[in-house]
């Protein structure tokens, strides 16, 4: 098997588990790790900052990313922000584990592109 196929790259369906780690003095509240998936590299404006951090990682690898001052939506860009991260605040971090990398089928790619084109204020604020 080609090792490149197992890494985060364009048109792969990526599974993630994201956990918010609050900064000093902040409370997690009821935040719990959240799993979600998306098709990598289909955004009309290029890769989101999150995608740039994930590119080249393999399933099982973990990265820790600081939450930007503007909030986690800036990091996710065109990707839908997982509901559990809506309260994630600057000063904290997101621990992101790649749980799966697989080729996306054509239907998933087209659906992801359509969702990105239809993104509005009720989606992720763009």
Name the nearest CA neighbour of 40 among 16, 66, 60.
Answer: 16
Compute CA 92 distance to the chain's CA centroid, rounded to the nearest angstrom. Answer: 16
Q: Are 48 and 79 in contact (CB under 8 A)?
A: yes
pLDDT band at 126 (very low <50, low <70, confident <90, very high): very low
CA–CA gap between residue 100 and residue 25 (Å, rounded) = 33
Q: What is the pTM of this model?
A: 0.81
- To the nearest whole percent, how much of the chain has pLDDT over 90? 47
- Count of residues in the chain: 126
- The residues with which 64 forms a beta bridge, in sequence order, are 95
CA–CA gap between residue 114 and residue 122 (Å, rounded) = 15
pLDDT band at 82 (very low <50, low <70, confident <90, very high): confident
- To the nearest whole percent, how much of the chain has pLDDT over 70? 81
CA–CA gap between residue 11 and residue 17 (Å, rounded) = 19
Name the nearest CA neighbour of 7 among 64, 51, 66, 65.
Answer: 51
pLDDT of the residue at 35: 93
Q: Give the highest mean pLDDT range of 99-103, 109-113, 118-122.
A: 99-103
Pick the CATH number of 3-117 from 3.40.640.10, 3.10.50.40, 1.20.120.1150, 1.10.10.10: 3.10.50.40
């Amino acid at each position: 098997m080609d090792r490149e196929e197992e890494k985060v790259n364009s048109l792969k369906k990526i599974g993630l588990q994201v956990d918010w780690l609050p900064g000093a003095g902040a409370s997690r509240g009821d935040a719990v790790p959240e799993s979600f998936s998306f098709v990598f590299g289909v955004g009309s404006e290029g890769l989101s900052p999150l995608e740039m951090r994930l590119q080249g990682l393999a399933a099982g690898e973990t990265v820790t990313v600081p939450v930007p001052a503007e909030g986690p939506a800036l990091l996710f860009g065109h990707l839908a922000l997982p509901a559990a991260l809506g309260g994630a605040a600057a000063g904290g971090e997101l621990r992101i584990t790649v749980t799966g990398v697989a080729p996306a089928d054509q239907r998933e790619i087209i659906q992801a592109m359509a969702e990105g084109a239809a993104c509005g204020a009720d989606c992720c604020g763009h």
